[in-house]
Amino acid sequence: MISRLAPSVRQLSQTAVRSHAFSSIAAPLTAQRSGNGHRSNNQNNGQQRQRSRRFGNGPKVAAPLLGFSIMVSLKDFFGIDKVQLDADPLKDKIKQSWLARKYGKYDEAVEILHNALPEATEHSDPLVLTRIIDELANTYFEKGDMENAEKCFRDVIQRLVRLHGKNDASPEFIGISLKMADIFAHKGDLDNAETGFRHCVSKQLQIMENHVKKYVLAKGAALEERHLVEAHGPAYSDPIALFGMCLEVFAHFLIEFRGDDRLQEAEEYIDEVLKITSHLYGTSSFRLMTVLNNFGAICVRHGRFELAKKYLAIGVDRIMHIDECSTLIVGYYCNYAEALFHTGSVEEALEYAKKATILAKDEGPAVLKYSQNFLKALEKDARAQGKTGGRWYSWLF
């Protein structure tokens, strides 16, 4: 796998600038199609591209961007070890804050964590306080409070280095550095953001190559890769998955914040992510579908409709046969329909929008309403173009 890396990926290890406390990737994003999302820094390209506008604030379950696509095997995404608190009352507070954050109750989660800080400060294990601050940082991050998130992440980095023996090659450090880079991007500091992403990709590429070499040397070069995954599990796959995550979020950054001249680079990175995901989890896995959906969705949101269609088409048939994807498929089909519509395949777009609405009936009223609103808006635009013949309307109204 290492020998087949695209030249542009390998070049990162030669050109990346080393940095200290960068961090990135985004909290789960809802399907926002109001046309008021982030513009590329290339304003001319952004104005030339027609923005999609059909999604309102849909329910999270139907959101196309699900965050960490291929990293689900890593403990808490980036490996800050869980604290063994047993009967300690802090255990319940951490759990309560995590559950509140999971369901979007960010203010409640922040209050719980702030109340836990004095007790954590007095705890005999310094990892407890590090864990609390990390939870607080991620809560602020998902809430969109980037100033407080950045402050907390910086505190965590300092503690990881000073108290817990970590360095910039540690997965915890890489994970926070990805989040910091994303914070810089959303604050408009795009050059520092890109430096952060490049550092993470470069560093994790070196780590991954050395990691894989150990397994190949120990087991023999002729051993098939799938046997390594099956035999060693996360011990083998986690460093590779983290490298894939670095590439994925960098590709998203290029789509969201850079111009058309960086699209090919973004494609090369996401192609490597697809190879890694297929290698670790298989070609018909929830992880692979999520990578495709996330990339397709961010392309749609930023007017890269041909690119969205290309990647969403890869999984549009097989996703129906993956049980784990039942909650993903409605958003996937809506994203694909949007891409089809803007690339001239209006009838096919309506077909997939209708399929999404039919499938949404099994996913609850919020998802059903979301898909129905999407279909109505799509049909309205199609009627305005005179491309439907009216045949798609009677079943819904």
Query: For residue range 357-381, what is the model confidence (pLDDT) as tens digits?
Result: 999 999 889 999 999 999 999 999 9
64 closest CA partner among 370, 341, 282, 372: 370
Query: What confidence tens digit (pLDDT) does each residue in 12-61 have?
Result: 554 433 222 222 222 222 233 323 333 334 433 443 344 454 644 444 33
Give me the amino acid identity at 72: V
Sign of CA dihedral 54, 59, 61, 63: positive
Name the architecture of domain 30-63+284-397.
Alpha Horseshoe (1.25)
What is this structure's pTM?
A: 0.80
- Please provide the size of the chain in residues: 397
Phi-psi region of 82 (alpha: psi -120 to 50; beta: other; left: phi over 0): beta
Query: What confidence tens digit (pLDDT) does each residue in 120-152 have?
Result: 999 988 999 999 999 999 999 999 999 999 999
Using CA atoms, how far apart are residues 378 and 230, in angstroms rounded to an integer?
Answer: 44
Rg (CA), the chain: 22
Residue 327 has pLDDT above 80, yes or no: yes
Sign of CA dihedral 261, 209, 280, 173: negative
| Both structure tokens of 388 | 């439907």
Residues pairing with 65 in the sheet: 29
Q: Tell me if residue 286 falls in helix, strand or coil.
A: helix
DSSP string spanning 155-204? Answer: HHHHHHHHTS---TTSHHHHHHHHHHHHHHHHTT-HHHHHHHHHHHHHHH
User: Would you state the pLDDT for residue 29?
Assistant: 25
Q: Tell me if residue 65 falls in helix, strand or coil.
A: strand
* Sequence ranges of the domains in the chain: 30-63+284-397
Using CA atoms, how far apart are residues 55 and 34, in angstroms rounded to an integer?
Answer: 6
